[in-house]
Every structure is written in structure tokens, then in C-alpha cells.
Chain A
Amino acid sequence: MTDAEELRRRTRELLADRPPATTDRLDFLRARFDAGLAWVHFPEGLGGLAAPRSLQAVVDAELEAAGAPDNDPRRIGIGLGMAAPTILQYGTEEQKRRFLRPLWTGEEVWCQLFSEPGAGSDLAALGTRAVREGEDWVVNGQKVWTSSAHLARWAILIARTDPDVPKHRGITYFVCDMTDPGVEVRPLRQITGEAEFNEVFLTDVRIPDSRRLGEIGDGWRVAQTTLNNERVAIGGMRLPREGGMIGPVSRTWRERPGLRTHDLHQRLLKLWVEAEVARLTGERLRQQLVAGQPGPEGAGMKLAFARLNQEISGLEVELRGAEGLLYDDWTMRRPELVDFTGRDAGYRYLRSKGNSIEGGTSEVLLNIVAERVLGLPAEPRTDKDVAWKDLAR
């Protein structure tokens, strides 16, 4: 068992061996991975030391104090948060050795090929086909809402390998090479004017069977690991008062007395209270997690923040009056990082419309709360025992 003292010692050893000030960034990150200090809860040899996950903070604090470079986690969130845990759980030894190190160092960016134009909330109905040809799979189909696809070296992909069984059973999980000539990435321009996401067209893409993750037909189960880790990554953040979308509008209110009206004042105060209460709910959830008593409240947090972000940013556009009629910039761009509270009120208003769609629509989340938290009867399922090829579409 590796304890905090041991981790501190190893971290100092790494720092002595590769002083951050005189070491190339990538060299340092590779050495950190090889020393087992990348993600300490991963196994030895794969960037970790099989230590408790909570001890990562010890390593991070030592490294930060020494001014060591990090792996820019916001840029490689899909790799770290979704691909890595899935590869760790379902990958072969060879796959783990090949993929995890450059994934963690950021040398290889990952993206996720899950959603399709015809499979959003009903992801399991996806229609991208993978057909076996010798030692390869040949993949055809279209994926959508893929962030980082234009930067990515690899993708986690789910595709249909058996259309003759019910939809959840005919899916297989692959690692797709984004440099394959059959992969075409097109930016998907959204209502804000920019393109955070892409459409990905797959035409006769060849994936060797050695890049399959998990068993044939078991892809839905493997994908649950990916999606559960996505949910772990949401929540657990610590916000100060006025830390979210309510911050900018409150500052505008204070700085611009000329914009104030009685009607807006009442609405602002109501939203301020709701934002503060939602912040407290998030803080309570965080305290529950720290105390080892995770509650079902997390399911509600996304619902609350989606609605609040939309209402607050809508109010701010209105508060700005004549300026609210303007927009900062419609130029088509491909931002690498997205900040929901960044840019102007108009941008925030438009971007927040996605908050009740991305990562589970609010309507689906309400079903989940009603069924899994309150125990109400599930929606009638007419698709459970029907072969995928016979589903209505």
C-alpha cells in the first residue's frame, strides 16, 4: 500500500531528477507517468501506483508548489475522463500499454464517436455499421457533436455489429484511428456562430479487430463505463457565491445603474436567490461525496444549472437594452476551450441553450429522476425485444 509519505518522497525524487525549470515539458510529463505519479490510482506500469485515488491531491500539491508543468487536462478531457477509464477496464494489456501513456501526456488527443443524427437521447438505436472482413472491421456511418475530432489522433467509437438482435445487444466498442483516409471531419457550426463540435463521416474505415474494446456485442455495457465516468466528472466542483452565470449580470447591475428598472430588479433578485440555492445544493452534494455518502442529488444539478443559465443569460441580454440588440462576433471559429460564462451576454444566452440538451436532455433527466430516485413506473418500452433492423425510424 502506497501512503502519502511514500508518494511525497517519490514526487520529490522526480522533481530532483527532472527539475521543471530545466526540463522539456513533454520529457517531464513522460517521466512523471513512468514514475507512477500521473494518476496514482492506476496500476503500476500504467502511470499509477495502485494507490487510493484521494492521494492524487498529495502529488498534485507537491508538483504545483514546484512549478511543474501539467498535462493541460481541459484540452484532453475526453481522453482522461472517458477513454482512459474504459481502456483500463476493458482493454487488453497491449492496448493499455499502447494508448494510456500518450493519452495522459496529451501527445495524442482523443475524441468520442457516440451520438448520431438519428440517435441522440436514444443512443442505443445508433446505426453506424461495422462489418467484419477478415481481421478487420469495416465501418460506415455518421457521428455528430464530436468535440476535438479535428485535433484527435484516436476516437472511442460504438457501432452496430449485429442488426438482427435488439438494439442494446448488437453494439461493439472500438478504438478508431482518426487518421484513416475514410474519416472525414467537418466543423458543425452552431447558433453562436462558432463550431465547438464536428460531424464525423466514416466511409469504409478499416479498424483491425485488435482495436476492439471488450467482447463483440458487449459495446453497450462497455459504453456505460465511459458514460458513468462522464457523470463523475460533472458535479463536485466548489463554487464561491456569484461564481456561475449570475456573476456577470450582478456586476453589470452594480456598474450600470442607468440600466436598472423595477421589473428587472425583481427578476434579478429571484434568479440571484435561485442561483445561490443551487450553489448551496452543489456544495451539499460535494460535502456528501467527501463524507462518502453520495446522494442522488447529482441528477438534479444539471437540470437546475441548465435552466438557471438560460434564464439568467436571457435576463442579462434584456438588461443591456439597446446593447442587447447587438452581438459581439459571428465569425466562424473553432475554439479549443469553451467557457459558458465567457464572452458577451448574447453569446452566453445562445450557448446556454445547449445546456439542456448536451449530456442528456432535461426531459430525459426528469424521467431518470422520476424512475431512479422516486421509483415511479418506467416509460412503456416497445423497443426492448425488437431486432434493431425492425425498429421504427
Chain B
Amino acid sequence: MSTTSTQPDLLYSEEEEALRAAVRDLLADHCDPADVITRIESDAPHGSAAWKALAEGMGLAGLLVPEAKGGQGASHREAAVVCEELGRAVAPVPFLTSAVVATEALLACGTDDLLADLASGRLIGALAVGLDTAPGAAFTTVRLEDGLLHGELTGIADAAVADVLLVPADDGGLYAVDGDAVTVTPQASLDLTRPLATVTLAGAPGRRLGEAGPAVRRALRAGAGLLASEQLGLADWSLTETVRYLKERKQFNRPVGGFQALKHRLAQLWLEVVNLRAAARGAADALATGEDADVSVAVAQAYAGQVAVHAAEEALQLHGGIGMTWEHPVHLYLKRAKADSIAYGTAGAHRETLACLVDLQAP
């Protein structure tokens, strides 16, 4: 049984709120839902203008990188606020994959040149590990033969826009591979705003950065922890938008939101969102301080998936027919929420991790 004497700081600081406001403003200009729906079926599903503004304009790609290495020297607390807002806008930008997961792997390896490139937004990085992989779980590697990499990796999120892929090989090393040296084949993905791809390496040259095991574990733990904040953003949008709509929508000569059966469902959802906010802040703060991080991340991920999915499912149902159309953005949230419930490990995988961490062993 692990106990902690100090409590995590679960509030948002004034600076964090200012950051949130700035990101929200920017996304309102660059990432409105109608644009996102148009873009997801185009050849360029990613919002490159939005990413440029976030990464280069605001410097957000470098939040987790120390100033001495070309970053902003902020922490997971600020990165979590960004994830919340990106989730709220279901923005198709590679923040979580490049600025969090790939960046954490590079921090673990101490690869300063690539870190600076990612932090500045000059390059986008992607960790070539399947998006469904939980921290600490086994992952697929490619073959290293005569100094070149051979193999196929599937389910790699945001690989299509990555300039550099971080590829684990069968010698236990993590390799940086140029995006131009591999074949990236998009997969038809449930979540159109974070598309997956197969990465094929046919004798690709790579540069060994360090040990893959600890780097991947660290990267996935940060990804899982901050994903909870993205899920909070998804859930909060779903609740807020549904409440707004149900105050407006009238049937039977009254606002639909006045029916008690629906009021109770929305109140329950509010309670779940309030809980998720505490869990997500707990994980972000624990990643920032390093205190109790394994348990906090596992708790947040064991809880967040069901809330985000429930919120999006309720949003769809309570919108009625309009919620079932391609035109209305609620499907973007449903697809992202469902995909997020698998990303970086399912709730069940995180519960199993917790069983060991807090000594509640299986029979």
C-alpha cells in the first residue's frame, strides 16, 4: 500500500488559465468544427496551420523541454492544460504524439539536437510504437541487420506527418529514422482526427539514440497521463454543448432540457466530469513532480476512458437525429473518445497495473 503524505496541487494557476485562454482563442480561429470535418477526408487531415500557430507561434511544442535545450522549461501541468483545450476542439494536431510522447523519449535518451528541433516545431516526431500500447507493456521491434532497419510497425499515430520516427529495434536500441527513409501507409482509422499508419522499413538507416525500454516506458507513461486531460476536454465539450443545445431545443412545447429524466443524466455526467478533472490534474501534477506518478497515471487512465466515451455517447443520444449526422461534430468526439479509451492502454490494463502498485493482487 503506497501512501503519500503530501497532496497533489489539483488547481489551475493563473498562468495556466492564461495559457488555456490563449490556446482556446487560437483554436477558435484555426480549428472550428466545420473545418475539421472538411479536412478529415482530404489528403491532409492534419491541421497544419493550427499546428504551426501552436508550435511555432506559441512555442507549445517545447513545453516539456528545458530552456537550456531550446524549450520552454514548463511542466506536465501546462502541457495538460494544452491537451484539455486540444481535446475540447478535437484538434487534429500532433501535440500529444510529438510534443509529449516523442519528446519524452528523446528526453530519456538525452538527444539534444532532435529535442531542439521538436521543441521549436521545425520537426514533428512520432514514437513508432502502436497507439494501443500501455506503459510497461511489450511492443513490437524491427530487425537490425548490417546497420539497417527492416520491418513493419502498425497503428502508429500521426506517422503521416512525422519528419522523424523513433523506432525500437531488436537489439534493444531506440533509433531515429528519417520520415523520408520509410514507407508510411495510412490506415483507415476510427479516429479520423488522429490517424494511424503502417510504417514499413526496408533497409532504412537509423541513428541509435539509447535504450528503447526505459525511453518507451517513460514516453508512454507521460502520454497516458496527459491523455486524461485530453479526455477531460472531450468530455467537458460534450457536456457543455449538450446542455447548451437542450436549453434551446424544444419538443412537446418545452425545452427538452427541462425533462427530469434528461436533467438527471446530465447531472450524473457533470459529476463524472468533475471527478475526471481531479484525476487528470492529479496525474499531471504527479508527472510534473515525479511523486506518486505511476499510481496517479494509472488511476487517471483507469477512470478517464469511460467518462469521455460516456460523455460523447450521451451527447450523441441527447442531440437526437442531428447527432447521428456527419455534419454535426459530435461524431468527431465520439470517435476520438473511443480511440482514446484504447490509446496508451485500456482502463483494464491500467487497473491491472494498479493491482500490483497498491497491492490488491489477483486470486
**Chain A residues with a Cβ under 8 A of chain B:** 238, 240-242, 250, 253-254, 257, 260-262, 265-266, 268-270, 272-274, 276-278, 280-281, 283-284, 287-288, 291, 293, 297, 300, 303-304, 363, 366-367, 369-371, 373-380
Contact = CB atoms under 8 A, between A and B. Distances in A.
Interface in B144-182: none
Given A242-B1, A265-B355, A370 B263 contact: yes
Interface of B: 1-4, 7-11, 243, 246-247, 254-255, 257-258, 260, 263-264, 266-268, 270-271, 274-279, 281-282, 299, 302-303, 351-352, 354-355, 358-363
Given A240-B3, A287-B10, A375 B247 contact: yes
A369 B258 contact: no
14 contacts: A254-B359, A265-B360, A269-B355, A276-B299, A277-B275, A280-B299, A284-B11, A284-B278, A297-B274, A369-B267, A373-B267, A376-B246, A377-B247, A377-B254
Contacts of B254: 377
Contacts of B10: 280, 283-284, 287
Q: Which 6 A-B pairs have the closest CB atoms?
A: A377-B258, A370-B263, A260-B363, A369-B267, A280-B278, A284-B10
Contacts of A366: 263-264, 267-268
A78 B134 CA distance: 50
Contact of B303 (A254, A274, A293, A374): A274
Q: Is the interface of B mostly helix, strand, loop or mixed?
A: helix
A274 to B, nearest CB: 7
A304 B257 contact: no
A304 B351 contact: no
Given A273-B351, A287-B11, A377-B255, A367 B263 contact: yes
A247 B302 CA distance: 19
A303 B266 contact: no
Given A278-B275, A280-B282, A369-B271, A376 B7 contact: no
Given A242-B1, A270-B351, A262 B362 contact: yes
Nearest to B299: A276
Contacts of B302: 269-270, 273
Nearest to B306: A270
A267 to B, nearest CB: 11
Contacts of A278: 275
Contact of B266 (A268, A273, A288, A370): A370
